[in-house]
């Protein structure tokens, strides 16, 4: 076989693979009984990033028709990769498998090798960020996934116990879509609002940004940039700022030392990835709390690159205690021990767990149980940062605050960052899709199957299912 084989040859192989692995290819989902409208989705997927797309593909493999994915962003700009992510390469190991759902020819590696050859793959350290987006675009095209872009879901509301109505904003118009199940795959932002210190929020917006925003750095030349946070995004922002011409980028964080430990890597094994959701509440809470407490620093290449820039400096034990806007529009930041002068602030402070801030959940958030309501940790483990996480069921479904009052919630599955406490700290990232995705998909197909329980029993028991016809029996007996 030539190396590289080229994308066309790979795509041919994929079509063949899909055909070989089509069993069981029988349609089975029964229509929604007493449906108020003819067009009802079996599953609506909110978010067309990698999770949303892989969910749509998985459901197609399970012979679930009438699935649609909605994404607020334009085509090719889903997820963080070419919007607000700034790193050179992914943080995850290049060998991860995820969106392929078990088809080797659909992996990033197959896509890469088909174009650049095996040696190039061996030489690659980690997956270049922009190339990951190229792969996602190809994945969507080759599989013909039903993604509707520029379509922001602004509401999910119950219509009946077995039906939900989505309100979708598209080109300034509102459309309504009925769905029997919903997967909410809204990524990092799906956890809740961006964490912005109050004193920063009162500054004029042109003087600061959160790292999850697209930041126009074209005016950064000669400016002093203050960055708050100790994670990878802080370093990515600092590197980008200096590349854009900033005079300095000073990374400040509260911790006395920078985080150097990353037990998440130890948890990238099939034990944790597959079975974390089965752990008792106390264990799950303790894991997340520990991970939150120790933080997560940048990956080694990011750190090394940042430290090779003279204009980037690190300031541990530097909480921003007092922030004052000066008459010359500079910002004075007092840490208690040092005073900095900045021209622009970037907050690499992540998101807070608070579903109430998510517009698409506003109609149902009042019914959704959170960890704070379901689990009381021992006093020494109390942690307000975790209280707002949704308490998900074992298929990633939202659960009811008051049992019996919101039965439609078991049809809404959450695999955004908000799933991390229930399903595992890596559940919403690439490295756990291999295990978390089948869980969610099983939740959806299980629900659709149970919806048809009476009709399916009736069909099997009361209808004929000929295998040996009268003619065959007579002719064989003769």
Nearer CB in complex with ligand FAD: 29/186: 186
Of 27-35, 185-193, 199-207, 458-466, which part binds ligand FAD (CB under 6 A)? 185-193
Q: Give yes or no for residue 430 binding ligand FAD (CB under 6 A).
A: yes
Of 86-94, 158-166, 404-412, 463-471, which part binds ligand FAD (CB under 6 A)? 86-94
Nearer CB in complex with ligand FAD: 187/295: 187
Q: Comparing C-alpha atoms, which of 153, 157, 155, 179 is closest to residue 367? A: 157
Q: Give yes or no for residue 296 binding ligand FAD (CB under 6 A).
A: no
SS3 414: strand
Which strand (E) or helix (H) includes residue 61? helix 50-61
Q: Give yes or no for residue 227 binding ligand FAD (CB under 6 A).
A: no
Helices 433-451 and 453-462: crossing angle in degrees, nearest 10, is: 60
Of 14-22, 183-191, 255-263, 448-456, which part binds ligand FAD (CB under 6 A)? 183-191
Q: Give yes or no for residue 92 binding ligand FAD (CB under 6 A).
A: yes
SS3 81: coil
Q: How far is the CB of 96 from ligand FAD (least distance, A)?
A: 7
Residue 467: Cβ-neighbour burial (10 angstroms; 0-12, 13-18, 19+): exposed
SS3 133: helix
Site for ligand FAD in 140-169 (CB under 6 A): 152-153
By rule CB under 6 A, what count of residues binds ligand FAD? 30
Q: Which of 4, 52, 158, 226 binds ligand FAD (CB under 6 A)?
A: 52
For residue 6 the two structure tokens come to 């080229």
Residues in the chain: 478
Q: How far is the CB of 466 from ligand FAD (least distance, A)?
A: 45
SS3 165: strand
Q: Which of 43, 56, 64, 91 binds ligand FAD (CB under 6 A)?
A: 91
Q: Does residue 383 contact residue 289 with C-beta atoms inside 8 Å?
A: yes
- Beta-strand runs (E) in 119-199: 147-148, 151-160, 163-170, 173-179, 182-184
Q: Which of 349, 422, 428, 445 binds ligand FAD (CB under 6 A)?
A: 428
Q: Give yes or no for residue 90 binding ligand FAD (CB under 6 A).
A: yes
- The H-assigned helical ranges of 92-128 are 108-116, 118-123
Q: Give yes or no for residue 431 binding ligand FAD (CB under 6 A).
A: yes
Nearer CB in complex with ligand FAD: 375/435: 435
Q: Give yes or no for residue 427 binding ligand FAD (CB under 6 A).
A: no
Nearer CB in complex with ligand FAD: 29/45: 45
Q: How far is the CB of 428 from ligand FAD (least distance, A)?
A: 5
Site for ligand FAD in 274-293 (CB under 6 A): none
Q: Which of 85, 163, 217, 369 binds ligand FAD (CB under 6 A)?
A: 85
> Which residues are paired to 332 by β-bridges?
324, 341
Q: Give yes or no for residue 47 binding ligand FAD (CB under 6 A).
A: yes
Q: How far is the CB of 358 from ligand FAD (least distance, A)?
A: 7
Q: Does residue 353 contact residue 387 with C-beta atoms inside 8 Å?
A: yes
Nearer CB in complex with ligand FAD: 10/178: 178
Residue 335: Cβ-neighbour burial (10 angstroms; 0-12, 13-18, 19+): middle
Q: How far is the CB of 203 from ligand FAD (least distance, A)?
A: 23
For residue 319 the two structure tokens come to 């909480």
Which strand (E) or helix (H) includes residue 361? none
Q: Which of 100, 113, 162, 360 binds ligand FAD (CB under 6 A)?
A: 360
Can you tell me the distance from the alpha carbon of 424 to that of 217, in angstroms, rounded to the nearest whole number?
Answer: 35
With vertex at residue 162, the alpha carbon angle to CA 156 and CA 164, rounded to the nearest 5 degrees, is 15
Site for ligand FAD in 11-30 (CB under 6 A): none
For residue 110 the two structure tokens come to 């197959």
Binding site for ligand FAD (CB under 6 A): 46-52, 70-73, 78-80, 85, 90-92, 152-153, 185-188, 233, 360, 428-431
């Amino acid at each position: 076989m030539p190396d590289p084989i080229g994308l066309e040859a790979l795509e041919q192989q994929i079509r063949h693979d899909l055909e070989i692995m089509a069993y069981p290819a029988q349609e089975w989902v029964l229509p929604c009984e007493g449906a108020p409208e003819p067009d009802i989705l079996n599953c609506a997927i909110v978010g067309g990033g990698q999770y949303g797309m892989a969910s749509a593909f998985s459901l197609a493999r399970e012979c679930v028709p009438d699935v649609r994915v909605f994404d607020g962003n334009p085509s090719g700009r889903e997820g963080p990769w070419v919007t607000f992510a700034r790193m050179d390469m992914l943080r995850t190991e290049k060998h991860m498998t995820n969106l392929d759902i078990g088809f080797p020819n659909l992996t990033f590696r197959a896509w890469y090798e088909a174009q650049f050859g095996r040696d190039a793959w061996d030489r690659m350290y980690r997956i270049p960020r922009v190339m990951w987006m190229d792969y996602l675009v190809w994945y969507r095209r080759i599989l013909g996934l039903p993604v509707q872009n520029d379509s922001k879901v602004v509401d999910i509301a119950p219509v009946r116990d077995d039906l939900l109505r989505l309100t979708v904003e598209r080109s300034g118009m509102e459309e309504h879509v009925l769905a029997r199940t919903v997967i909410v795959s809204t990524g990092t932002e799906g956890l809740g609002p961006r964490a912005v210190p109050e004193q920063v929020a009162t500054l004029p917006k042109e003087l600061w940004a959160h790292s999850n925003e697209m930041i126009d750095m074209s005016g950064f030349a000669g400016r002093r940039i203050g960055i708050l946070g100790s994670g990878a995004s802080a370093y990515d922002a600092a590197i980008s700022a200096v590349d854009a011409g900033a005079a300095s980028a000073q990374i400040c964080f509260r911790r006395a030392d920078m985080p150097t430990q990353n037990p998440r890597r130890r948890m990238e094994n099939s034990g944790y990835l597959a079975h974390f959701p089965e752990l008792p509440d106390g264990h799950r809470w303790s894991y997340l709390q520990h991970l939150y407490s120790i933080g997560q620093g940048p990956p080694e290449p990011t750190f090394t690159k940042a430290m090779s820039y003279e204009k980037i400096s690190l300031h541990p034990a530097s909480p921003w205690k007092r922030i004052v806007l000066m008459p010359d529009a500079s910002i004075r930041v007092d840490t208690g021990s040092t005073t900095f002068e900045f021209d622009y602030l970037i907050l690499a402070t992540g998101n807070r767990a608070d579903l109430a801030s998510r517009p698409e959940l506003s109609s149902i958030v009042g019914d959704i149980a959170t960890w704070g309501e379901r689990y009381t940790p021992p006093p020494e483990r109390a942690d307000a940062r975790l209280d707002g996480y949704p308490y998900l069921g074992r298929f990633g479904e939202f659960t009811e605050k008051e049992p019996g009052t919101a039965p439609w919630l078991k049809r809404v599955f959450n695999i955004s960052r908000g799933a991390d406490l229930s399903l595992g700290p890596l559940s919403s990232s690439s490295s756990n899709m291999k295990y978390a995705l089948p869980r969610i998909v099983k939740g959806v197909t299980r629900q659709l199957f149970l919806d048809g329980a009476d009709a399916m029993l009736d069909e099997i028991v009361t209808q004929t299912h000929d295998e040996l016809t009268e003619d065959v029996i007579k002719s064989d007996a003769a």
